[in-house]
Every structure is written in C-alpha cells, then in structure tokens.
C-alpha cells in the first residue's frame, strides 16, 4: 500500500465528538454525516439531484455521500453490468461519494428468516466464504472475501466494506459469537492481503468491520485485531440487529476510547435522530439506515419535537399546518398536512417522495446542528 487515498482531517473536537473533513477521489464531505440508503442504485421514490438542491433541501449544505448494497446489486443488475455503464456513479447519475456494504448482512439474513423452513438451506458459512442461494431464482453463489472486493471494485465504490459474519444478538452464546468473530478476522486478513495489491488500481478504499456481539472482551479483541487494517477507516457492525438502544450505546462506549483517532468511524445500519444524538457524542462519524425512507413509505415523518408524525391518522385530514414548522425542506414549505394525508389515503407515490425528502433532510439538518455545537 502506498499513500492513503482517503484524507481525514479533524477540524475540532468536543469531548469525544469531532468535526472532520473527509476527502476521497477528489470529493470532500464534512463529518459527522448521515448517508441515505440507495440499496439497488436508487433511493426509493427519489431523484438523487434533489438531495443536493437547496430548492428542495432548504440548505446549501450538501449531503455528498450515499450508500448502495453489494448483495442486491450483485443479485439484481449484476456488478459486471454496472461496470459496463461506468460504475454506480454513472449508472445512477450521482456525482458524490458512494459507500457499498459487503452484502454479508443480507446473505446471513437469508438463513435467519424463519418464515420458511426452506430458508435454513439458503446459506452455508465456510472458512473460505459463504455459500448461498439467490432469493430470486434459487441459483447457487459464493461470496469470498476476495470476490466481495472485486464486486465492489466493479461497482466503482468509493468506500468498500469487508465480508464479515454478522452475529445475531439473540440465539447465539458467547462461544458461537467468538467463533464468528474469529472468522470475520480471518476473512478481513484475506480481504486486505488481496486488496493491498490492488490499492492503487481500484477506485475505493476498504474498511474492516468490528464484531463481537454484546461481549465487551470480544469487542475489544476484535477492535485490537482490526485496527491493523484500519488503513482508511473502520466500521462497527453487528448493531441495530435486535439489541436494545442501551445495549448498542454500551457497545459504542466500550470501543470509543480505543478507536484510532485519525480515521473515520462508521456505525453500520444506525440512523434514528436519538441514535445520532447519542453516538456522535461518543465519537462516531458516519451513519446509514433505511429507516427514514421506510418510515416515509408508511406515512411516518420525523419532527423537530422528537415525536413522529403519522400522516395517515385522521387528525391530519383537515390540517392546514405544515409537516414541521422548523423545517425548510420543499415538503414542509409547500404542502399542508391535509394534502399529505390525502396523498397517502389515495396511495399516490408522491406522498412517499415528499416524506422521504423530509426525513432525509431532517437527519441531514440534525448532523449540521450537531456540527455547529461541536464547533461553537
């Protein structure tokens, strides 16, 4: 490996919290940052240009980075197809940064789905990788640490994640969690040994993923091992998978004093307002979560009061109030709750678009407010 492609410069700290500039591939973002999730090269119901247009967001502070899912891109369009179109950026017309997860969580979730006994045969974890059947057509596939790097390379991802074993919070004893953590470490070493020779040829950088469940000693052991591979950053995985918020915050607290200070820290799959408020002050820099758009599709909006607005409730039918008086997004400035209620009652797709925009902007504005507090 030669000079690091990712530059991470801390501007100011406040306790464990920090504001930093992250520069990669000629693009710069300021952390802490929430990354909207575009699973299949699309943020559901959204035109990506809207996310960085002040007319729609109500702010000139750009989002700058989104997430796509390696497993779903592999199963749906296919990584070779995306490569043919010039990578994810050109495929979906996004000029910001793109982080892709490893797809490991989605693969393992196939085996955890209890709705069908058939699902128990969909996944087999082996020392060299994970074998699985496609949920689309039943075809057989294998993800190895090296293959996952290659897939994300074909996607032209800016930030790539290693293949890991995401241990379930419930149903695992400590011995099983330790075994899965050690396999995560073996895979991480394989991935980075393979990636090192490609470092200057691939578009992206690679983050390892800390595992260890709800066991402090395992978490610290995982962090100690994976700090050796935190060349450009590191992620905390195995959270937001069924544990309580207090348990998740405890995991972050265990790790916060031993995470490398000069590298970005990514808390995977986390993105409620309360989670950001809690863990940014524990030193986390990057977040992603499907919740903002998923809630929006079900008619639920974040609100500056901390409550959630359920726009389909009849109380909103005759309301001339905006969704949130403190928000300057296009949705809140132009439409009443009564109109939004009407869209959802009539199952109009515009309702999902308008609430998705608001929820994403809400989290974006929250990180901007926290940055101001840290910088003050």
The DSSP string of 138-152 is: --EEEE-HHHHHHHH
Beta-bridge partners for 286: 33, 266
Distance, CA of 372 to CA of 376 (rounded, Å): 6
Q: Does residue 288 have an active-site annotation?
A: yes
Q: Does residue 275 have an active-site annotation?
A: no
The DSSP string of 3-66 is: S-S-EEEEEEEETTEEEEEEEETTEEEEESEEEEB-TTSS-TT--GGGGG-HHHHSSS----EE
From 9, 101, 137, 324, the catalytic residue = 101
How wide is the angle at C-alpha 211 spanned by C-alphas 173 and 108, nearest 5°?
A: 75
From 154, 158, 275, 288, the catalytic residue = 288
* 287 backbone dihedrals φ, ψ, rounded to 5°: -140, 155
Distance, CA of 108 to CA of 340 (rounded, Å): 37
Residue with tokens 């909103």: 316
Instruction: Indicate the helix (H) or strand (E) that contains 73.
Output: helix 70-75
Catalytic residue list? 101, 288
């Amino acid at each position: 490996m030669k000079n690091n492609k990712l530059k991470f410069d801390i501007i100011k700290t406040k306790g464990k919290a920090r504001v930093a500039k992250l520069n990669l591939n000629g693009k710069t973002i300021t952390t802490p940052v929430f990354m909207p999730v575009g699973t299949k090269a699309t943020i559901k119901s959204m035109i990506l240009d809207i996310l960085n247009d002040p007319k729609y967001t109500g702010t000139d502070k750009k989002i700058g980075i989104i997430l796509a899912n390696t497993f779903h891109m592999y199963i749906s369009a296919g990584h070779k197809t995306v490569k043919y179109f010039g990578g994810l950026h050109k495929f979906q017309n996004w000029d910001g940064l793109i982080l892709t997860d490893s797809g490991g969580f989605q693969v393992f979730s196939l085996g955890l789905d209890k709705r069908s006994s058939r699902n128990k045969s969909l996944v087999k974890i082996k020392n060299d990788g994970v074998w699985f059947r496609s949920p689309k057509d039943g075809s057989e596939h294998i993800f190895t640490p090296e293959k996952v790097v290659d897939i994300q390379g074909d996607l032209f991802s800016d930030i790539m994640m290693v293949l890991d074993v995401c241990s379930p919070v419930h149903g695992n004893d400590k011995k099983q969690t330790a075994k899965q953590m050690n396999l995560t470490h073996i895979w991480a070493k394989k991935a980075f040994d393979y990636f090192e020779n490609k470092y200057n040829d691939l578009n992206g950088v690679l983050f390892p993923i800390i595992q260890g469940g709800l066991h402090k000693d395992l978490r610290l052991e995982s962090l100690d091992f994976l700090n050796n591979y935190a060349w450009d950053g590191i992620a905390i995985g195995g959270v937001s998978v069924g544990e309580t918020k207090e348990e998740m915050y405890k995991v972050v607290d265990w790790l916060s004093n031993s995470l490398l200070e000069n590298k970005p820290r990514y808390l995977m799959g986390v993105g409620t307002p309360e989670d950001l408020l809690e863990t940014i002050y524990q030193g986390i820099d990057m977040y992603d979560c499907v919740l903002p758009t998923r809630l929006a599709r079900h008619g639920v909006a974040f609100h500056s009061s901390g409550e959630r607005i359920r726009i389909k409730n009849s109380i909103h039918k005759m309301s001339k109030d905006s969704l949130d008086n403190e928000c300057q997004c296009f949705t809140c400035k132009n439409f009443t709750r009564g109109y939004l209620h009407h869209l959802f009652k009539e199952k109009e797709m515009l309702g999902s678009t308008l609430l998705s925009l608001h929820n994403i902007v809400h989290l974006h504005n929250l990180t901007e407010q926290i940055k101001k507090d840290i910088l003050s």
